[in-house]
Amino acid sequence: MQHSMTTTAFTLDGYRVTKNLGIVRGITVRSRNVFGTIGASFQTLIGGNITLFSQLCEKTRSEAFDMMLLHAGELGANAVIGVRYDATEIMQGVSEVLCYGTAVVVEQSR
């Protein structure tokens, strides 16, 4: 499924929903490694963007998003609407990232 067929809105411009396949999700659980944590600690002394954590967060969100798309594809969807993210710290240094939305079948509007 193409990323352009996903949206945080509940409609997809130029398309109409013909079938609702239900909620789909992608979940990933990540922990910080000790080297990344030490490197990030040094970056906090300087201030600004903590790139080591930014990269970890981006990779984690991307992984959860891709798993959600895989789940949607398995159901026969060609689009996902209402996409959202949620994150929960399971234990210190370990976080769950959830990406979810509604899998749908769409066709181009006339």
pLDDT tens digits in sequence order for the chain, 110 residues long: 899 999 999 999 999 999 999 999 999 987 755 444 554 454 455 555 656 667 778 888 999 999 999 999 999 999 999 999 999 888 877 888 999 999 999 999 98
CATH topology of domain 3-31+64-108: Translation Initiation Factor IF3 (3.30.110)
Residue 31's pLDDT is: 73
Angle between helices 51-75 and 34-46 (to 10 degrees): 130
Q: How far apart are CA 107 and CA 66, in angstroms?
A: 22
Q: How far apart are CA 84 and CA 42, in angstroms?
A: 32
Residue 27: phi and psi, rounded to 5, are: -125, 135
Where do the structural domains in the chain lie, given as residue ranges?
Answer: 3-31+64-108
Q: Which residues contact 34 (CB under 8 A, 6 or more apart)?
A: none
Residue 35's pLDDT is: 46
Q: How far apart are CA 57 and CA 67, in angstroms?
A: 15
| Number of Cβ atoms within 10 Å of the Cβ of 62 | 14
Residue 53's pLDDT is: 67
Residue 34's pLDDT is: 47
